[in-house]
Amino acid sequence: MEADAVEAVNTLRRSITELCVADHQNDPSEIEAWLGNKTVETWRQWIARDNAVVLVAERERKIIGVGMASLSGDILLNYVHPDARYGGVSKAILSGLEDVLRAHGIRCCRLESTVTARSFYESCGFRSEGGDALLLSKSF
C-alpha cells in the first residue's frame, strides 16, 4: 500500500535525521547523502527483492520500525521512529531478521553500524570484525 510505503520511509528519514546526530553532526550534506535512497520508489524496490527480507514494526497501525536483511546474512536496515525509541522495537526487528536468516541456513550475520547504534549491537552479541570498529558480526 502507498500509505505504508510513505510511513516506512518517514520512519527511516526521521530516525536518521533525529536519532543519528552523532553520525551526521547535523551536517546538511551528510544528512542528504544518507537520505538520498530513502524514498518511496526505493522502498518499492526493497520489498520486491527476492534475495532480502523487509520487516516492519507497527504500533496502533503506524509503522514505528523498519528492518531489512539480505538472505546472504547482511543486516541492511534497522531503524526506529524517534517516538518509539528505547521501547524494544530495534531489538525485536533485529531478532526477527536473525530468525529469518537462521531459517535460511545462515550461521553468521554482518552489519555496518552507525556510531549511534554500536553499543546497541554490541549488547545484542555483535562484535567488531577487526580494523573497522563499525563493521560488526554475530554467529548464531
pLDDT tens by residue, 56-96: 999 999 999 999 999 999 999 999 999 999 999 999 999 99
* The pLDDT of residue 26 is above 80: yes
**50: pLDDT strictly greater than 90:** yes
Average pLDDT of the chain? 95
Q: CB-side exposure of 73: number of CA atoms within 13 Å?
A: 12
CATH number at residue 99: 3.40.630.30
Q: Do residues 81 and 87 lie in contact, with contact meaning Cβ atoms separated by under 8 Å?
A: no
Task: For residue 56, list its beta bridge partners.
Answer: 66
**Distances in whole angstroms, Cα of residue 71 to Cα of each of 56, 82, 106, 113, 116:** 17, 28, 8, 18, 25
Structural domains of the chain, count = 1
**Domain ranges, residue 74:** 2-139
Q: H or E stretch including 31?
A: helix 28-35
**Cα dihedral 112→47→107→94 (10° resolution):** 60
Write down the pTM of the prediction: 0.93
Q: Is the pLDDT of residue 1 over 90?
A: no
Q: Given its phi and psi angles, is residue 17 left (phi above 0), alpha (psi -120 to 50 degrees) or beta? A: alpha
